[in-house]
Amino acid sequence: MAGKMATHNFAELKRQTQKNLVGFLRIEVQLASTFCEMVERSQSPEHKAQLLEDIRKAVRAIRHFEQRIIDPSIRADVLKKADTLDAFCRENRK
């Protein structure tokens, strides 16, 4: 009985961990996307540079944790968004 309870608790913990991880990464994507919009509106080169660095930090965090996502379709979606953010940074380098 105790073994069955421990297995159930582990499975629930794993499910909740995945939910939290995916939620965190989606927030990173949303935040970085907001920074992209701010880059497009900013008139200050210094502010743009800081925003682009913040986008790069978000992409690094996404790439660091994405391999922990169990669901391949969610992982692919998160990576696609990270690639889009990377491309935005490359296009706005100067």
Query: In total, how many domains does the chain have?
Result: 1
Q: What is the largest CA-CA distance in the chain?
A: 65
Q: What is the pLDDT of residues 19-77, one digit of tens each?
A: 999 999 999 999 999 999 999 999 999 999 999 999 999 999 999 999 999 999 999 99
- pLDDT band for position 6 (cuts 50, 70, 90): low
Q: Look up the domain containing 84 and give its range.
A: 2-91
Give the C-alpha separation, 8 to 70, whole Å. 18
User: Is the predicted pLDDT of residue 5 greater than 90, yes or no?
Assistant: no
HSE-CB of 2 using CA atoms within 13 angstroms = 0
Give the C-alpha separation, 57 to 71, whole Å. 24
- pLDDT band for position 14 (cuts 50, 70, 90): very high
